[in-house]
Homo-oligomer: A and B are copies of this chain.
Amino acid sequence: MVWTLAQIASEIGAQLVGNADKKITGVGTLQNAKDTDISFLANTKYRQYLKSTSAGCVIVSPDDLAEVKTNALVIDDTYVAYARVASLLYPEELPDNGIHSSVVIGDNCNIANSARISAQVFIGANVQIGDNVVIGPGCIVENDVKIGADTRLMSNVTLCRKVSIGQRVRIHPGVVIGADGFGIANDKGKWLKIPQVGKVIIGDDVEIGANTTIDRGAIDDTIISNGVKLDNQIQIGHNVFIGEHTVIAGCVGISGSTRIGSHCAIGGGTGIAGHIEITDGVQLTGMSMVTKSIMTAGTYSSGIPVEPTRDWHRNVVRYRQLDKLNDKIKQLEAKLNQ
């Protein structure tokens, strides 16, 4: 793809300072961009590279324009502008039109003519696939699944029976949506499986990262609301509800029946207990351990970062003695107050 700066400025609504006819073919970081690349400054720690960059153009905010030695596109939100420019320069690769001959399709499916289905795919019975849906190679779509318009399954995605996916959703390889939740009843020492008969409902504009798993509901449904963004290797238990525009980083585990609000941000490696509620606007830093409901918006943390192993050993010992230490202090206070 080749775009002139004038075209790009027009597409994203930026002010162009420099050569309107300059041709751009790719993006690059300030440090590594070539003359045909466009770059951007969104994080002040990279401002030092503005003067020396070889980029053919830089997207900057008005405050940083004075530092730019090359062409500039000036706009307030430079990161959002960069996202739009990158989408122009790197349109998605698509499989061929239509349905590959190796695809196996069950009875009573309703597949839009504009859908593209790549090779080695399995589609069960009673599946509904909307306009412009793209299904990558090796995907499994079980019976009674619905996929909304403009949604894309990358390669090797598994959608289990009755799962419902909204529009403009993007699901990465290895994702499993709708596997049975972990429902077991103890029957005199042995564990009896509880049939999992609920569904998974995924809203519009959701993105789901590689090897993430979202279990179907036990009775009612598991729900991922519009605009939610999930990173890789996240585990979401049965009957979890996640509110709109919440983002969750990699390796998070959310136990069953927990309700997470809208506009939350959950750091990587966090674990959240089951049957609790996290209200709107909560931020959890990485590796947080959440055992109780959080009903006040704000930022929460837990965990103790690494220290040299020798120090760690000592502090763990002291931690174990905290209760005794507390007793000692009480005794000292008592003596002093005699």
Interface residues of A (CB under 8 A from B): 26-29, 32, 77, 79-80, 82-84, 86-87, 89-90, 93, 100, 102, 104, 118-122, 124, 136-138, 140, 142-143, 154-156, 158, 160-161, 170, 172-174, 176, 179-180, 182, 184-187, 189-195, 197, 205, 207, 209-211, 213, 215, 219-220, 227, 229, 231-233, 235, 237, 245, 247, 249-251, 253, 255, 263, 268-269, 271, 273, 284-292, 294, 298-309, 311-316, 318-323, 325-326, 328-329, 332-333, 335-336
Contact = CB atoms under 8 A, between A and B. Distances in A.
9 contacts: A156-B156, A160-B173, A170-B180, A170-B193, A182-B249, A211-B213, A233-B233, A235-B251, A284-B306
Contacts of A90: 195, 197
B189 A263 contact: yes
Contact of A137 (B104, B271, B292): B104
B319 A291 contact: no
Copy tally for this chain in the complex stands at 3
A245 to B, nearest CB: 6
A93 B161 CA distance: 9
Contacts of A306: 284, 288-290, 294, 300-302
Contacts of A176: 156, 172-174, 210-211, 232
Contacts of A284: 306
